[in-house]
């Protein structure tokens, strides 16, 4: 029997498992299984050659019982509404497990940024904001960067929004450039939060991080910062890393600065000096202490989970592990730091950015990281303690913590 790799079906199945443990009221369960609202729209963009190309865009506001919706915007050729729904659901649980007063949302556009000029990307970004401007804002829904989007695109979206409403509102977008009200520490925040979670997991499994080995799948913003921070903070040896073109490997570990310099020169990791090529399959199954999936969904499946040798799987990607793979990894005794806990650092610091925008008072990076550490450590402890007391795996425990908090807010509002 083939696995169902539809990301929203996986998100719903994960919720179903938690609902059974919580003995959640059936009406509440049904309400939490579906997005509260979603938007589908088309974005006509004048291309550099004078033609007009129409792109399909989405925004899903999954649940805002605990506060304004929050979630990034992806630009990707394989974007689907079910992916956006799943990511919005996971963001709902992420903000709840981190115990910050926000709900969950996500956005996306079906496009290939690699084939588009800077001017075309600006026109697409502004077009996206024109479609959602009525439905976003500091007290409604706050977008942010995600896959293939960055602070510059957020700056264009912010500018378009402020042109539409006629006044300044920097808190409508997070992940902005610092001169436009961005937060110190936001760019590495997802990876930094993951490092704090790895530190706590290492204590539980008895792993000395100094000299421990790690494999990182994905070398975008999150994966590259994970390499940098793992090396600098803990002395972890990153043995293989990969990007969309393939992986590289050095048994003695790879220096982040050398890998990054090669990537900037060559445009891909392959061919980095003092490394040998490694396939994505071999990277995931390598004999390392920590496996960090930091790419896309459905990378650890029933087909390869039994070959994973890591002691800790730190899910910096969203949805990298299927439910069938979860069962296999847990049976092997591998400690999983589930995605919406492990990668919560980004939304936590985005929340800090919203707070700073509201007060017009900005923190330095040391303060941001100190507060991020406190949030991540508290969230990790809540999930681990739930896992121990309820005798469930860490992903179910994370859902128990998050779903209980969201359901409580829904009940208090009288929605269900």
Residues with a known catalytic role: 106
d(CA 135, CA 245): 38
Residue 56, judged by CB atoms within 10 A of its CB (0-12, 13-18, 19+), counts as middle
d(CA 104, CA 128): 19
- Enter the DSSP assignment of 50: S
Integer-rounded Cα radius of gyration of the chain: 20
d(CA 182, CA 184): 7
Residue 164 phi, psi (nearest 5): -70, -45
- For residue 241, the tally of other CB atoms under 10 A from its CB is 30
d(CA 240, CA 87): 27
Per-residue buried b or exposed e for 204-235, using 16+ beta carbons within 10 Å of the residue's own CB = eeebebeebbbbbbbbebbbbbbbbbbbeebe
Contact status, residue 97 vs residue 400, Cβ threshold 8 Å: no
d(CA 105, CA 281): 32
Angle between helices 151-165 and 118-132 (to 10 degrees): 50
Three-class SS string for 130-197? Answer: HHHHHHCECCCEEEEECCCCCHHHHHHHHHHHHHHHCCCCHHHCCCCCHHHCCCCCCCCHHHHHHHHH
């Amino acid at each position: 029997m083939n696995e169902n790799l539809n990301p929203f079906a996986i998100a719903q199945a994960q919720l179903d498992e938690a609902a059974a443990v919580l003995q959640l009221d059936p009406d509440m369960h049904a309400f939490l299984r579906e997005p509260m609202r979603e938007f589908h729209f088309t974005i006509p963009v004048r291309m550099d050659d004078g033609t007009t190309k129409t792109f399909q865009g989405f925004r899903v506001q999954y649940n805002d019982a605990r506060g304004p919706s929050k979630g990034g915007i992806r630009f990707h050729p394989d974007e689907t509404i079910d992916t956006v729904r799943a990511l919005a659901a996971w963001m709902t649980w992420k903000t709840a497990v981190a115990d910050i007063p926000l709900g969950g949302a996500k956005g996306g556009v079906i496009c290939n940024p690699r084939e588009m000029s800077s001017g075309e990307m600006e026109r697409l970004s502004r077009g996206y904001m024109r479609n959602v401007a009525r439905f976003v804002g500091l007290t409604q829904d706050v977008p942010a960067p995600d896959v293939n989007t960055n602070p510059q695109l957020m700056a264009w979206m912010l500018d378009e929004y402020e042109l539409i409403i006629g006044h300044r509102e920097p808190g409508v977008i997070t992940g902005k450039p610092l001169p436009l009200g961005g937060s110190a520490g936001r760019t590495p925040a997802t990876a930094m939060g993951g490092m704090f979670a790895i530190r706590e997991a290492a204590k539980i499994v008895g792993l000395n991080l100094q000299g421990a080995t790690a494999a990182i799948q994905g070398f975008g913003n999150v994966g590259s910062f994970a390499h940098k921070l793992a090396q600098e903070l803990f002395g972890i040896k990153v043995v293989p890393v990969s990007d969309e073109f393939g992986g590289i490997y050095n048994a003695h570990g790879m220096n982040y600065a050398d890998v990054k310099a090669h990537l900037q020169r060559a445009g891909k990791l392959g061919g980095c000096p003092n490394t040998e090529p490694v396939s994505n399959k071999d990277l995931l199954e390598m004999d390392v202490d920590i496996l960090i999936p930091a790419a896309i969904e459905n990378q650890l499946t029933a087909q390869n989970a039994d070959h994973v040798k890591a002691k800790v799987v730190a899910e910096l990607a969203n949805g990298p592990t299927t439910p069938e793979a979860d069962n296999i990894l847990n049976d092997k005794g591998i400690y999983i730091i589930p995605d919406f806990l492990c990668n919560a650092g980004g939304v936590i610091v985005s929340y800090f950015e919203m707070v700073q925008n509201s007060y017009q008072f900005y923190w330095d990076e040391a303060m941001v990281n100190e507060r991020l550490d406190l949030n991540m450590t508290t969230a990790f402890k809540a999930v681990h303690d739930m896992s121990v007391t309820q005798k469930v795996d860490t992903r179910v425990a994370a859902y128990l913590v998050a779903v209980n908090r969201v359901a409580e807010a829904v009940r208090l509002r009288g929605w269900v």
